[in-house]
């Protein structure tokens, strides 16, 4: 995607109905791969898709209790803060702001 995003711009990404009941998909937002995930409480989260341990997609991992678990080595990240909760990853993932307007999911990218 070559479209330039303005800082702080909320981008329409998908509908809530496009998301699994509990799980994740990947979106391309201004050329950045972002995981859009819904947890068991129905909360929608957005964060960088690449695991900080190695270059794999977190969206292919498992969502459970506010955490996403990387499928490759089992690191878990808090989807609200991005902090790693389980080794081997030690660096956080960037978390983005999600805004819901009805069923529409908007994401504002962090810096
Ligand atoms: S690549 Fe994610 S934990 Fe190793």
Domain range 10-108, its CATH number among 3.40.630.40, 3.40.250.10, 2.102.10.10, 3.30.360.10? 2.102.10.10
CA distances from 43 to 18, 78, 82, 95, 111 (A): 14, 13, 15, 14, 22
Question: Which two structure tokens, joined as six digits, stand for 101?
Answer: 């307007």
Question: Which two structure tokens, joined as six digits, stand for 20?
Answer: 């699994």
pLDDT at 1: 43
The strand pairing partners of 26, in sequence order, are 35
The strand pairing partners of 84, in sequence order, are 77
Quick one: pLDDT band at residue 7, thresholds 50, 70, 90? confident
- Encode pLDDT of 42-99 as tens digits: 999 999 999 999 999 999 999 998 999 999 999 999 999 999 999 999 999 999 999 9
Domain extents in the chain: 10-108
* Cα 4 to averaged position of ligand 1 atoms, centre (Å): 30
- Give the pTM: 0.94
- Encode pLDDT of 98-109 as tens digits: 999 999 999 999
Atom of ligand 1 at shortest distance to CA of 54?
1
Nearest CA to ligand 1 atom 1: 54
How many Å apart are CA 92 and CA 38, to the nearest integer? 19
Residue length, the chain? 111
How many Å apart are CA 36 and CA 26, to the nearest integer? 6
* Cα 79 to averaged position of ligand 1 atoms, centre (Å): 16
* Cα 46 to averaged position of ligand 1 atoms, centre (Å): 18
């Amino acid at each position: 995607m070559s479209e330039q995003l303005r800082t702080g711009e909320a981008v329409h990404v998908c509908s809530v109905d496009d998301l699994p009941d509990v799980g994740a998909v990947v979106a391309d937002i201004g050329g950045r791969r972002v995981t859009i995930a819904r947890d068991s409480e129905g909360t929608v989260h957005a964060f960088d898709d690449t695991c900080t341990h190695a270059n794999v997609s977190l969206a292919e991992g498992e969502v459970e209790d506010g955490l996403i678990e990387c499928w490759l080595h089992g690191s878990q990240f808090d989807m609200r803060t991005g902090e790693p909760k389980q080794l081997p990853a030690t660096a956080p993932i960037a978390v983005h702001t999600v805004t819901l307007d009805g069923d529409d999911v908007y994401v504002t990218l962090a810096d």
